A and B are shown apart, each in its own frame.
Chain A
């Protein structure tokens, strides 16, 4: 047997296989599979509860009745996806924004403190990074503390910050944003320090041959070079800023916000409400990351990045 004309295995050019060669096809299949598993799990998780309810009422129930019950209960152990979507639709579209039941209202409360916290945190992170890169003393003394500050469960401080600021008269959005800022300055600082020090020796030597000032080197070399690093860390930062805002609403019994919805739902056993708030938070997170990604693409293109 010779190895004559061994045909190289190549992806067939059929449209179906082309779809599945990318990421969209497999993701869709995995999502569909997850949905199917979810429905089965919902039926199994809610079955005994529904069957008991029928039995207690003395109503003879067929298999179909119970099955319908598992997917349409008011406080199921695990709500079916369509129930969550219905709840989302009801609280987002059908409820006026001014109502306390509107998820848009709660989402906005959380979003506003997320954005404020993100702005404060990102700015702090950038300023800290610029300072650290320029002052050797700060690099040696502050950097280890910044890093170890992240091994501390920062979220545990959330209640204190809210109580302390509340007792000196600062309430509302700001205390929550400070927790968000506390969480999201870290990746920005780390990313920016990396970015600001990313120009190599030759590039820095070039600035030296021009006898450029520290400020010139910062503006013309270090900052432009750090932009890709900045956006990579901003994407992480905006996501955890949202986490900070939600968690900040938990320990103080906030009246509005996605975190407050989670808390209220867990008090009253409103599982559908919890899941709807979770979905809303997920959508918000995805949207925020997507917006930062979009700005990144625009900025990088304006700066002449390839692709």
Chain B
């Protein structure tokens, strides 16, 4: 457990000497179903280094969520090589290397917002004073100051998802895994949260893996975009997104932005089979 370390510094040593945060080679995952095997992931190769913001984009069934779940040890691969922070996903999970943000906030309705953020800290056995302190810090970071005593169901969807991000950040994991976190929100709220997330990433310097199926969202947020395609689930393109790190929503009208978006769309189209 490395939550004792102060924010941002923990674990830097391990990655600065060349170890990749994510190192995947020939990864395969097959589900056996009644209708025969389903190839959720087929021969996936990918490396991600410290501090990157990587988006996974592709149509439904392309395996982007599955890949994230394999990295989080919520799913076991059937073949291939995978290391997370230099160890197996299970070890990474056991030493609490990552925070996971799901499609829905998954806040526990019987806990206040503050207590929800403190949930992982309770499980990791942090002293009460520090739990309070961290919950305060991270709720402030996601602009939820003043809502500590509210219950999740008394907040809007966007606020709930922000609380769940605070919960994922609260124990200062090296890695933030986000599975379509803003998929259920309307576009205006989504734009707003995208800006906030970008600012948060700038402040904390975490490595973020972000699943989405919105092209503008992927281009706007990422340093690297992984384009995936279904049947079998595979990576068809990895696009570097070298826009300046300080971005505002206006950047979406610039030629550089549109060029990258165009390349992503081409990649998606190329990988799309018209059988369905």
Contact = CB atoms under 8 A, between A and B. Distances in A.
Interface stretch (B80-88, B112-120, B174-182, B191-199): B80-88
A3 B78 contact: no
A10 B76 contact: no
B217 interface: no
B83 A2 contact: yes
A9 B82 CA distance: 18
Nearest to A13: B32
A6 interface: yes
B32 A5 contact: no
A1 interface: yes
B88 A3 contact: yes
Contacts of B82: 2-3
A8 B78 contact: yes
Contacts of B90: 3
Nearest to A2: B81
Interface in B50-76: 76
A5 B80 contact: yes
Nearest to B92: A3
B81 A10 contact: no
Nearest to A5: B79
A264 B251 CA distance: 89
A4 interface: yes
A8 B80 CA distance: 13
A40 B90 CA distance: 47
A1 B88 contact: yes
Nearest to A4: B81
A275 B83 CA distance: 64
A8 B90 CA distance: 13
B77 interface: yes
Interface in A209-223: none
B152 interface: no
A4 B24 CA distance: 10
Contacts of B267: none
A22 interface: no
Nearest to B26: A4
Contacts of B77: 3, 5-6
Contacts of B32: 10
Interface in A1-38: 1-10
A2 B88 contact: yes
B76 A8 contact: yes
24 contacts: A1-B88, A2-B81, A2-B83, A2-B88, A3-B77, A3-B82, A3-B83, A3-B88, A3-B89, A3-B90, A4-B79, A4-B80, A4-B81, A5-B78, A5-B79, A5-B80, A6-B76, A6-B77, A7-B76, A7-B78, A8-B76, A8-B78, A9-B76, A10-B32
A-B pairs with the 7 shortest C-beta distances? A3-B88, A8-B76, A6-B76, A5-B79, A4-B81, A3-B82, A2-B81
